[in-house]
Structure 1
Amino acid sequence: MAEAHQAVAFQFTVTPEGIDLQLSHQALTEIYLSGVRSWKKRIIRLKNSVITGVYPASPSSWLFVVIAILATMYTRSDPSMGLIAKIQEHLPVSQSMSTQCQAVVSAVLFSTMLWLLLIFTMRLCLKQLLSYHRWMFEQHAKMSTTTKVWVALVRIFSGRKPLLYSYQGSLPNLPVPAVKDTVKRYLESVRPLMDDTEYERMTKLASEFESSLGNRLQWYLKLKALWAANYVSDWWEEYVYLRGRSPIMVNSNYYGMDFLYVTPTPIQAARAGNSIHAFFLYRRKLNREEIKPSRIPGTVIPLCAAQCERIFNTTRTPGEETDTVQHWQDSDYIVVYHRGRYFRLKVYQAGRLLSPREIEFQIQRILDDSSSPSKGEAKLGALTAGDRIPWAKARAKYFSSGVNKRSLDCIEKAAFFVTLDDDEQGMMGDDPAASLDRYAKSLLHGKCYDRWFDKSFSVVYYKNGKNGINAEHSFADAPVIAHLWEYALATDSFQLGYNTEGHCKGEVDSSLPQPQKLNWEIPPECEEQISQSLAVAQALADDVDFHVFSFRDFGKGKVKKCRASPDAFIQMVLQLAYYRVSGRTFCLTYEASMTRLFREGRTETVRSCSNESSAFVRALEGGETADVCRRLFRAASEKHQQLYRLAMTGAGIDRHLFCLYVVSKYLGVESSFLKEVLSEPWRLSTSQTPVQQVELFDLVNHPEYMSCGGGFGPVADDGYGVSYYIVGENIINFHISCKHSCPDTDAHKFGDQIRKALNDLIQLLSPNPKEPSKPEESRPEAKKDK
């Protein structure tokens, strides 16, 4: 078949007259332009490395320092206090260099050393300033004088026009908490979950650990903290993600949804054309470090950007004991899956990025391709959805050479993975709630073979123009992918746009080469393994119970009017809802927080179920007066915010205990305390999806242009996974997951209890409890219907 042939730059044959050489000028031109593009990227990386390396100064400041020092030489003053003369004495120069020239060279060398010393001092000062976190614990709008001075100094030392990675060298290292502090906070966190006898036993175990083995393990951990940039992140990636041998589909990967109420175009190929182009525009900005460094909202405090490095051209490679994350510097193509076939689609032609219209044209070619999948190709992706050890063995046995290796390399080295799905998804039909549930399950696991779950992220385009994203978790956390997804959605709809017929704008170069179909030679033994992996994955997918709903009665605007933190409010809602749905019990609750205030920081756990939250829930359900319940709610809310601040500033519980456990395993010692702590199930795992680039969306005038957020699978077999997305001032979206196989969990029942708890709490806190909910006409879907 024509699409299976590889392009070559030249052909030659041996004849009696000699070698007949035939050059392909088109191929050579392509090779030349690809080389030019590659060298341009290298030059940009080198320039950015220099700029980032001297930040918060700039390369031009070196010239200013040199001129200033040379100027002093003509005023017969010596700011170097004799150092320039010392340099001149030891300068290895030829006899032909004049004394004046030697003096100038010595002055330039001294200026350079002075400039480097100033840079080092500024970065050290900035690092010390960024280690100050007391501002986070101060009351809102009551900033202390110390913090005001600190803010001014941070602004001074932060420099101007930073690149994406400019602050990396100035971020502080994650501190190691004291063992006694961690143990104390742990015991406090589990008190509402244990009776007196169990709590006394755990207290005894904790005391023994703190006074004996804990100090020994802590010593090793402090040694690592001195040596490594972050004492948690490498072990967290290795042991929590990469060494997991169960399927990453559902258990680890997560998803993000399209706009909830708007589909920019119903044409599948056009939607793919615009957003694929937008992804590569983002990658270009990423490579040039033109993306602004993320900061704590409303502050000048930067966040670590290390996770951004592996967004594109990255895959997770299976191994029998542990997986590895592989990243390539560049890739000029994507891999597209459609109806059981894999295609290699180049998005650069003659050194330029294809326009959205050209990408649409190429995607349509794939949609129109009537070829059949190779034997065993259609469900090949199931290997990435099943258990990791069978996939690792199959990869080593069947994909280590020949055509299979070349095709697998093509997938793994692609910028990202694309699925053209024949289904229609989104909020639609007579039952929009059920359609959202199906949409979520489709993005989380699909058919279990039509995604490549090992890729850093896969984008799914549905037949009706809807799309979504599925991301692998080991290389980065959800906010990093969410930032990319926000940019792609906004650029697709507001920057690139579509013509009146729904196609991408622009012209098409019809001479573009056909997308190349990948070839496979799958033996029967490998097909058997594919079937086994698919059976494992299908059972896991069928067991997932999902419920997605958009709560529109009120949002964070009304919550803030009640003088409550929106996040703390929702966490109290979840505690109340779980208490009701579980039969008046509490559980260990996980809320994801970040530690990106520190270098290479990732996440930390906020244990949302506290003594204060349980006291509030019991009081509310026990019929206490409204005043008592409000007072207990304020105490619980403040406690939650305090726990969140501690987690963000490196004083969390769980990452420290996790690392102590890893050290104990390296040393070959057993700790009953650590073993019990690490085996406790998180029956309620929660996470907020933040809106990071609010400037990209006008939710006041166009509230219909909002994403529904994203979600993840349940962490515990008998628990719930809850993701919530606070959109604008009036909408909160929830994604709830659990397992059908557990008789005690039901995603829809839990969703009903969340709705009820939301209304109960806002009625409790609202100064006007009889205030009506938002009128129907102001809701986004109402506007859309009209």
Structure 2
Amino acid sequence: MAEAHQAVAFQFTVTPEGIDLQLSHEALRQVYLSGLRSWKKKFARFKNSIITGVYPASPSSWLFVVITIIAAMYTRVDPSLGMIGKIKEHLPVSAYLSHQGQNIISGLLFSTILWLALIMTMRYILKQLLSYHGWMYDQHGKMSATTKLWLTLVKIFSGRKPMLYSYQASLPRLPVPHIKDTMTRYLESVRPLMNDQEFKRMTGLAKDFEVNLAPRLQWYLKLKSLWASNYVSDWWEEYIYLRGRSPLMVNSNYYAMDFLYVTPTPVQAARAGNTVHAILLYRRRLSREELKPSRVPGSIIPLCSSQWERTFNTTRIPGAETDTIQHYQDSKHIVVYHKGRFFRVWVYHGGRLLKPKELELQFQRILDDQSPPLPGEMKLAALTAGSRTFWAKTRKAYFRNGKNGQSLELVEKAAFFVTLDDSEQGLRYEDPVNSLDAYAKSLLHGKCYDRWFDKSFTFIVFKNGKIGLNAEHSWADAPIIGHLWESMLATDCFQLGYNVDGHCKGEADPMLPAPQRMQWEITAECQEAIDSSLQEAQTLADDVDFHTFPFKDFGKGLIKKCRTSPDAFIQIALQLAHYRDKGKFCLTYEASMTRLFREGRTETVRSCTVESSNFVKAMMNCNDTDEQRLKLFKTAAEKHQLLYRNAMTGVGIDRHLFCLYVVSKYLGKDSPFLKEVLSEPWRLSTSQTPIQQVELFDLMNHPEYVSCGGGFGPVADDGYGVSYIIVGEDLINFHVSCKHSSPETNAHRFGAHIQKALLDILALFKLDKKDLKK
């Protein structure tokens, strides 16, 4: 085999004259270049750690301080107020130095101490500034004098040219809310969901918990908040994600879609070549920390960037009771799945990244390979789609050693997983509804055996050139993948591009080693385990009802003319749609980020409020006037904005209650209140997909390059999952999921209710016809 020949660095033969060594210069050259690249990465990582470690100062500022102090000493001025003299007296090597040498060393030490003290002071001031969140509560479009002064100070102390992780040490810790405040907010949030008798009972449970058990649990949380970087995130990752035993597919993993209207090339290998190269360019920028620090959109306020660390070279490893996340510092290959075969593809050659044309050549070689799958190989990945405990036992029994162990290690160490799908997906104008629904389901679960659901993400390229992605959720939240996705799409279309024939630009090195078929030895017992997982996954996938649709009647532009937050407008519309769909209110989850704090992840905005339910009731009551409904809507929108801001600033409800519950379990204390709260189902789970890099897409001149966003499966068996993305000024894309097995839900019916609710709310504002023009 060609790849085996390339892998041999030298050969030898035994002759009567002795041993004759035949060195392969090309193989040795590749070894040298690979080692050189590795050392360059280590040096870059070391350099970045120094630059980030002294931020908001810079290493060059140390030299400036040293020169200034030494120069002052030579002018017979003591800037240290006697401290340099004290250092000089206690120098352990003073006997070996001249008088001038002692002065220089003492001045150097004092300069370094002064420089470090200035860095710590600047960091402390910046951390205190970033702990202030009053700016979020300013009226939209009106900035208070306090906020203007605060922003000026933040800008002064934020430093220049920050790297991706430069602000990490300056971010404040997530505060632990007061028990009384959390109890008050919780009871307020469930009031519209309960009758008077139920609410009275819940109020009694809450008061009993607040007085008796909560203070003890709170003490432990405050202790943890002083010790840990974030009192929530590690427990959230472990207990919400890694200890979950149900399949990742549908239940946890989520997906991202390609452009809605544009497919840059119909050539599958070419699209794979460009997009994989774009992803690898992003990985290189990430490893060099060249990505800009994450910030609050449209501001200079930094957000935590820690979640980016595990984007690549990461796999979730199944365990009997809990999974673990395995992250590798580097990976030189990807694993590609096509028609039941697994291939390893090197992404470096000669110490450099493969070019798009070279990657296209590699993918085309895989597409042209007609070799059949090995026994059991085709549906092997179904193990990652089934129960976690079953997969852990199967992995331990059949994938620890030999070919299976080696091949599994290649998958888990890969930069990411790639599927060259043999189906065609995307928007078809002759059947837009069913085509988008099928596209969503394909990305969410595929055939249940053609995605590796344990990898940080599986990148999917369809036969007609359409692309998509399926992401594992435990290592990071959707905005992290969204940032990668935006960068990849923009690089693919606007930087790399394609030839007129749809192929990648440039030339390919014909001497590239071919992709390597991975070897498996799947026994009959192992095949039975694979089939069992596949049956479980297939049952789960078949039960998913999905509806993806673009809402084109109006978008963010018109909502802003209503002087309303677009997110609040949509969330209240979802409440109205749900009531029309089911005839009742339900506990509603909207994801909000807490990345204003170090290692922050998410918090819940409980979107079903007393105010929103009052508005919905008014919309359902024919006796109420539009003026009354509009007034109630504005009140509900203001309440939603307040809840969203509370969630972002660390005074939400659910993460605090979750951590109190974890502490109670550690202490062996049962709480009827916490048990009931944590078991309440989220029958409407919602999330907005933010566009973070608007500068990458010129939607004014190229309106066809709009993203379709992404979605996720239903959280409750009798509930809905709704994801939406606000694209430009005139488009909102929705992704609605539920289960066929529930007689209460229907994705298409709920989608129709959403569209009607949006239009009905807009009609309340009675905008002029000129405002309604696109």
TM-score of the pair, normalised by structure 1? 0.97
Once the 2 structures are TM-superposed, how far is the Cα of residue 768 of structure 1 from its aligned partner?
Answer: 2.9
The 3-state SS of whatever aligns with 2:380 is coil
Q: In the alignment, what sits opposite 2:218?
A: 218
Work out whether 1:134 is the aligned partner of 2:134: yes
Distance 2:773 2:517 in 1: 54
Work out whether 1:612 is the aligned partner of 2:611: yes
Q: In the alignment, what sits opposite 1:524?
A: 524
Work out whether 1:42 is the aligned partner of 2:45: no
Q: In the alignment, what sits opposite 2:361?
A: 361
Distance 2:699 2:163 in 1: 28
Distance 2:177 2:15 in 1: 77
Distance 2:565 2:144 in 1: 21
2:162–2:292 contact (8 Å) kept in structure 1: yes
Q: Please give the per-residue CA displacement for 1:183-211, whole angstroms capped at 9, x wherever unaligned.
A: 11000000000000000000000000000
Once the 2 structures are TM-superposed, how far is the Cα of residue 8 of structure 1 from its aligned partner?
Answer: 2.9
Opposite residue 101 of structure 1, the aligned amino acid is G
Q: In the alignment, what sits opposite 1:292?
A: 292
2:268–2:464 contact (8 Å) kept in structure 1: yes
1:173–1:599 contact (8 Å) kept in structure 2: yes
1:314–1:455 contact (8 Å) kept in structure 2: yes
Once the 2 structures are TM-superposed, how far is the Cα of residue 576 of structure 1 from its aligned partner?
Answer: 0.2
Question: In structure 2, do the counterparts of structure 1 residues 394 and 17 end up closer, same or farther at CA, with 3 Å as the change threshold?
Answer: farther
Opposite residue 433 of structure 2, the aligned amino acid is A
1:165-204 correspondence to structure 2 within 5 Å: 165-204=165-204
Q: In the alignment, what sits opposite 1:726?
A: 726
Opposite residue 578 of structure 1, the aligned amino acid is H
1:173–1:598 contact (8 Å) kept in structure 2: yes
Q: Please give the per-residue CA displacement for 1:55-114, whole angstroms capped at 9, x wherever unaligned.
A: 000000001101111111122221111110111111122645210121011001100000
Once the 2 structures are TM-superposed, how far is the Cα of residue 374 of structure 1 from its aligned partner?
Answer: 0.7
Q: Please give the per-residue CA displacement for 1:162-195, whole angstroms capped at 9, x wherever unaligned.
A: 0000000000000000111111100000000000
Q: In the alignment, what sits opposite 1:735?
A: 735
Q: Please give the per-residue CA displacement for 1:689-722, whole angstroms capped at 9, x wherever unaligned.
A: 0000000001111111011000000000000000
Question: In structure 2, do the counterparts of structure 1 residues 397 and 566 end up closer, same or farther at CA, with 3 Å as the change threshold?
Answer: same
Once the 2 structures are TM-superposed, how far is the Cα of residue 297 of structure 1 from its aligned partner?
Answer: 1.3
Q: In the alignment, what sits opposite 2:703?
A: 703
The 3-state SS of whatever aligns with 1:563 is coil
Q: In the alignment, what sits opposite 1:283?
A: 283
Q: In the alignment, what sits opposite 1:341?
A: 341
Of 497-506 and 292-301, deviating more is 292-301
Once the 2 structures are TM-superposed, how far is the Cα of residue 456 of structure 1 from its aligned partner?
Answer: 0.2
Distance 2:208 2:735 in 1: 41
Distance 2:288 2:408 in 1: 29
Q: In the alignment, what sits opposite 1:10?
A: 10
Of 607-616 and 12-21, deviating more is 12-21
Opposite residue 219 of structure 2, the aligned amino acid is W
Q: Please give the per-residue CA displacement for 1:338-387, whole angstroms capped at 9, x wherever unaligned.
A: 00000000010010111101100110000000111111000000000000
The gaps in structure 2 that reach 5 residues or longer are none
1:312–1:416 contact (8 Å) kept in structure 2: yes
2:555–2:732 contact (8 Å) kept in structure 1: yes
2:268–2:462 contact (8 Å) kept in structure 1: yes
The 3-state SS of whatever aligns with 1:136 is helix
Once the 2 structures are TM-superposed, how far is the Cα of residue 537 of structure 1 from its aligned partner?
Answer: 0.2
The 3-state SS of whatever aligns with 2:7 is coil
* Percent identity over paired residues: 72
Q: In the alignment, what sits opposite 1:781?
A: none
Distance 1:78 1:618 in 2: 76
The 3-state SS of whatever aligns with 1:166 is coil
1:3–1:517 contact (8 Å) kept in structure 2: no
Once the 2 structures are TM-superposed, how far is the Cα of residue 115 of structure 1 from its aligned partner?
Answer: 0.1
1:364-375 correspondence to structure 2 within 5 Å: 364-375=364-375
Opposite residue 46 of structure 2, the aligned amino acid is L
2:436–2:549 contact (8 Å) kept in structure 1: yes
Distance 2:628 2:508 in 1: 68
Distance 2:228 2:639 in 1: 32
Distance 1:728 1:142 in 2: 23
Opposite residue 410 of structure 1, the aligned amino acid is L
Opposite residue 609 of structure 2, the aligned amino acid is S
Q: Please give the per-residue CA displacement for 1:298-318, whole angstroms capped at 9, x wherever unaligned.
A: 211000000000000000000
Q: In the alignment, what sits opposite 1:257?
A: 257
Opposite residue 610 of structure 2, the aligned amino acid is N
Question: In structure 2, do the counterparts of structure 1 residues 716 and 234 end up closer, same or farther at CA, with 3 Å as the change threshold?
Answer: same
Distance 1:770 1:547 in 2: 32
Distance 1:542 1:328 in 2: 35
Once the 2 structures are TM-superposed, how far is the Cα of residue 429 of structure 1 from its aligned partner?
Answer: 4.9
Distance 1:491 1:433 in 2: 29
Q: In the alignment, what sits opposite 1:782?
A: none
Q: Please give the per-residue CA displacement for 1:117-153, whole angstroms capped at 9, x wherever unaligned.
A: 0000000100000000011011123322222211110
Question: In structure 2, do the counterparts of structure 1 residues 446 and 4 end up closer, same or farther at CA, with 3 Å as the change threshold?
Answer: farther
2:343–2:515 contact (8 Å) kept in structure 1: yes
Once the 2 structures are TM-superposed, how far is the Cα of residue 26 of structure 1 from its aligned partner?
Answer: 1.8
The 3-state SS of whatever aligns with 1:247 is coil
Distance 2:399 2:592 in 1: 39
Once the 2 structures are TM-superposed, how far is the Cα of residue 15 of structure 1 from its aligned partner?
Answer: 5.9
Work out whether 1:33 is the aligned partner of 2:33: yes
Q: In the alignment, what sits opposite 1:486?
A: 486
Work out whether 1:453 is the aligned partner of 2:453: yes
Once the 2 structures are TM-superposed, how far is the Cα of residue 274 of structure 1 from its aligned partner?
Answer: 0.3
Q: In the alignment, what sits opposite 2:620?
A: 621
Once the 2 structures are TM-superposed, how far is the Cα of residue 772 of structure 1 from its aligned partner?
Answer: 5.6
Distance 2:770 2:145 in 1: 42
Once the 2 structures are TM-superposed, how far is the Cα of residue 528 of structure 1 from its aligned partner?
Answer: 0.1
Opposite residue 596 of structure 1, the aligned amino acid is R
2:230–2:600 contact (8 Å) kept in structure 1: yes
Of 351-360 and 424-433, deviating more is 424-433
CA RMSD of aligned residues (A): 1.3
TM-score of the pair, normalised by structure 2? 0.99
1:419-568 correspondence to structure 2 within 5 Å: 419-568=419-568
1:680-699 correspondence to structure 2 within 5 Å: 680-699=680-699
Question: In structure 2, do the counterparts of structure 1 residues 79 and 398 end up closer, same or farther at CA, with 3 Å as the change threshold?
Answer: same
Distance 2:13 2:474 in 1: 49
Once the 2 structures are TM-superposed, how far is the Cα of residue 325 of structure 1 from its aligned partner?
Answer: 0.3
2:422–2:462 contact (8 Å) kept in structure 1: yes
Distance 1:362 1:40 in 2: 26
2:718–2:744 contact (8 Å) kept in structure 1: yes
Question: In structure 2, do the counterparts of structure 1 residues 5 and 536 end up closer, same or farther at CA, with 3 Å as the change threshold?
Answer: farther
The 3-state SS of whatever aligns with 1:759 is helix
The 3-state SS of whatever aligns with 1:187 is helix
1:4–1:517 contact (8 Å) kept in structure 2: no
The 3-state SS of whatever aligns with 2:706 is coil
Q: In the alignment, what sits opposite 1:572?
A: 572
Once the 2 structures are TM-superposed, how far is the Cα of residue 238 of structure 1 from its aligned partner?
Answer: 0.3
Number of equivalent positions? 773
Q: In the alignment, what sits opposite 2:155?
A: 155
Q: In the alignment, what sits opposite 2:634?
A: 634
1:553–1:773 contact (8 Å) kept in structure 2: no
Question: In structure 2, do the counterparts of structure 1 residues 202 and 770 end up closer, same or farther at CA, with 3 Å as the change threshold?
Answer: farther
1:718–1:745 contact (8 Å) kept in structure 2: yes
Distance 1:66 1:354 in 2: 45
Opposite residue 454 of structure 1, the aligned amino acid is D
The 3-state SS of whatever aligns with 2:299 is coil
Once the 2 structures are TM-superposed, how far is the Cα of residue 20 of structure 1 from its aligned partner?
Answer: 4.0
1:313–1:329 contact (8 Å) kept in structure 2: yes
Q: In the alignment, what sits opposite 1:93?
A: 93
Distance 1:280 1:90 in 2: 53
Of 427-436 and 32-41, deviating more is 427-436
Distance 2:22 2:671 in 1: 72
Once the 2 structures are TM-superposed, how far is the Cα of residue 769 of structure 1 from its aligned partner?
Answer: 7.2
1:765-780 correspondence to structure 2 within 5 Å: 765-768=765-768, 774=774
Of 94-103 and 399-408, deviating more is 94-103
Once the 2 structures are TM-superposed, how far is the Cα of residue 6 of structure 1 from its aligned partner?
Answer: 8.0
Distance 1:320 1:760 in 2: 51
Of 595-604 and 616-625, deviating more is 616-625
1:358-397 correspondence to structure 2 within 5 Å: 358-397=358-397
Once the 2 structures are TM-superposed, how far is the Cα of residue 675 of structure 1 from its aligned partner?
Answer: 0.2
Q: In the alignment, what sits opposite 1:332?
A: 332
Q: In the alignment, what sits opposite 1:602?
A: 601
